[in-house]
Amino acid sequence: MGPIADIGWTAAHHEGRGYVETRLGGLVETKFIERISEAKARKVIESELTRERYDAIFATSYGFKDAVKELARDFKDVKFYHCSGEFEAF
């Protein structure tokens, strides 16, 4: 939800994303989008990630849970991961 420079939750996820991209050197392509409101999460994820054919999407805010659940039903070929501290498979 916040900026990657917040030195917190968002920054930690961004650091992990960069680590994976660096370690797998060209085997994966990653993209991040910062400052997404919970109200716009579904629209942004759908238009900027699922439509661009990313096959795995990590949502890193508790408030994105409902949007991710809906999108997982609509986009069966995409793996959705929700980092909320609450476990539920979708």
Q: What is the pLDDT along the chain (90 residues), one digit of tens a residue?
A: 677 877 787 888 889 999 999 999 889 989 999 889 999 999 999 999 888 889 999 988 888 989 999 999 999 999 998 887 665 555
Distances (CA, A) of 45 to 8, 21, 26, 37, 86: 22, 20, 23, 11, 20
Domain 4-82 annotated CATH 3.40.50.2300: yes
Residue 50 pLDDT = 85
pLDDT score, position 23: 94
Q: What is the dihedral of CA 34, 35, 39, 40, to 10 degrees?
A: -50
Would you list the domain boundaries of the chain?
A: 4-82
